[in-house]
Amino acid sequence: MTATLQKKICMLGGFSVGKTSLVKRYVQSVFSETYLTTVGVKIDKKTVDLSDRIVNLILWDLAGEDDISSLRMSYLRGSAGYVLVADGTRPSTLEVALSLRQRVEADLGPLPFVLLLNKNDLREQWAIRDAELEDFRRNGWWVESTSARTGEGVEDAFKALAGRVAH
């Protein structure tokens, strides 16, 4: 079985939600992080082994911006799906993530995505109610709380997204 399937995935999230560090340990990376601040995008690869095939997720990590209007939409073009990242200890970042999703949907139409609430290792500072997440899940969203520090949930999230974009 050869890994012939590639999918372009965008990583989106507000400022310092930890999306870059979230994937750091789990991806194949050749470019320096300075690309994010210079070109505004850094590209990594995550290989996911689905039972029937291997999917290479080409991750476009877009520079974290709270100001949605400054997002380079041209980088989103051709995406098969996207990863929304928010900081579970800062509810405002969830709002940013939701408005990012709206922006993407307006431009690219509905696409598979996963919503990751990062920093779940900081349980005592957690500020998102579980009920809210349940609401999202009822809408059919794939929501996962993750930790860049412990790695919890990251692999699952990529696997779920790969499954969604590959079929």
Partner 1 sequence: MSASAADTLEWLVRPFSGDPGIDRQALAGLLVELARNVEPQFGAGPSGVRPIDPRLEQLRTLLLGREIEVLSRLSEVVEDPEQLAGAVGRVLPTAIALASSDARLGQVLAPALEKATQSSIRSDPGTLVNILYPLIVPAIRKSIGETIDETFQSFNESLKHSLTWRGLRWRWEAWRTGTSFAEVVLKHTLVYQVEHVFLIHRHTGLLISHVAAENAAGQDPQLVSSMLIAIQDFVRDSFSGAEHQGLDTVRLGELWLWSEPGPFATLVAVIRGNPPEGLHEQLRSVLSRIHEERPHALESFDGDSSSFADVEAHLSECAALGQRAPRSAERGFPWLVALVGLILLALAGLGGFRWWQNERAWEHEQQLRQAEQRLWDGYVARLRAQPGIVITEAGRRDDKFLVAGLRDPLAADPQLLLDQEGVDPARVVSRWQPYQGLDPVFMLKRLQASLDPPPTVTLAVEGDHIVAQGSAPSTWIERARTAGRMLPAGGPMLDLTGVRDVNEGAIGKLSKAIRSHEIHFNFNDSLPAPGQDAVLDQLAKELNDLASLASTMSVSARVTLTGHSDDAGNGTFNLSLSSARAETVRALLKKRGADPDLLTVRGAGPLEPLEAASSEAARSANRRVSFKVGIEEQR
Asked if 159 and 48 count as a contact pair (C-beta separation under 8 A), the reply is: yes
44 contacts partner 1 (rule: CB under 8 A)? yes
CB atoms within 10 A of CB 41: 18
Selected from 36, 54, 58, 127, the binder of partner 1 by CB under 8 A is 58
Binding partner 1 by CB under 8 A: which of 56, 149, 156, 163?
56
Binder of partner 1 out of 16, 21, 37, 78 (CB under 8 A): 78
- Rounded CA-CA distance 31/12 in Å is 18
Judge whether 44 and 26 are in contact, CB under 8 Å: no
60 binds partner 1 (CB under 8 A): yes
Q: Establish if 49 lies at the interface with partner 1 (CB under 8 A).
A: no
- Cα(first)–Cα(last) distance of the chain, in Å? 17
75 binds partner 1 (CB under 8 A): yes
Site for partner 1 in 2-31 (CB under 8 A): 2, 4-8, 28, 30-31
